[in-house]
Amino acid sequence: MKTLLALLVIAFASVAQGALIIDFEDIGGDNIAITNQYETSHGVVFSMKMNGVDTLPYSELVGEGDSVNGFLNDQDNNYDQARALIANYGQTDTLGEYFLRAPGSISNTGQVELIVNYILPVAALRAELWDIDAHTNGYEKWLVTIYDGNDNPLASQESPTGIDASDPNSLDSLKWKFEFDRAGVFDVHKMTIMFIGSKTSGVGIAFDRFYVDSIPEPATMCMLALGGVAMLRRRNRK
């Protein structure tokens, strides 16, 4: 019986983990509009506003040489990749092959806001924002807010204020991780990541490794429960 329970727990954990993370590795290529690709698999829909106008975020291929870039790695003078000496800053390169950026070239980006709507409310979420830094035209900073079903804010967090990208202690080509945990209460219906820095252009958003803690799908629960019952029956027959 104990073994059976352990097996069920393992089965459940692996199902939940597979469904939890959105790392954009399966998005299918560079420069693809990210909208409802994760609606059925993860229960989330992405959208974006730029300078208050509705638009969509796009997939970005890690590394330079492809068309359109997501962020400038000032420290190493390349695009769309983690700092070469990232380990020296206590971080690891988790970007993989793809992340999410604003549409168009960085030089054309303005006041960016990433919006995530949840089909079913979630109790916890976390993600990474890369390359929060500053240049002569201003600094970058983000406000992450979560909302209830009536669009009322539940909580918010500010990112660090970007400091000059030439400073090794800046978050240039490094990540800032944020997390919200509603302690088991599934009341988060929406998340927004709004630019609140001083730049008016050249704002690069690089978003990745988005975890969604949603209620397991009834179908999955049912299958696991039935599997458990079947195993118990087989055992009892012995």
Using CB under 5 A as the criterion, which residues of the chain lie in contact with Ca ion when the complex forms?
23-24, 30, 61, 66, 68, 72, 74, 80, 96, 99, 131, 133, 165, 172, 208
Closer residue to Ca ion (CB): 96 or 104: 96
Q: Which residue has the tokens 């959105």?
A: 22
Q: How far apart are CA 194 and CA 209, in angstroms?
A: 18
Closer residue to Ca ion (CB): 97 or 217: 97
Q: How far is the CB of 20 from Ca ion (least distance, A)?
A: 14
Query: 47 — alpha (psi -120 to 50), left (phi > 0) or beta?
Result: beta
Strand pairing report for 72-73 and 142-147: unpaired
Q: How far is the CB of 131 from Ca ion (least distance, A)?
A: 4
Tokens of 222: 């049912």
Residues 6+ apart with CB under 8 A from 219: none
Closer residue to Ca ion (CB): 156 or 161: 161
Q: How far is the CB of 3 from Ca ion (least distance, A)?
A: 36
Q: How far is the CB of 97 from Ca ion (least distance, A)?
A: 6
> E-assigned strands of 12-139?
21-22, 44-50, 53-55, 58-61, 72-73, 78-79, 98-101, 112-132, 134-135, 138-139
Q: How far apart are CA 144 and CA 138, in angstroms?
A: 20
Closer residue to Ca ion (CB): 22 or 189: 22
Q: How far is the CB of 91 from Ca ion (least distance, A)?
A: 15
Closer residue to Ca ion (CB): 83 or 189: 83
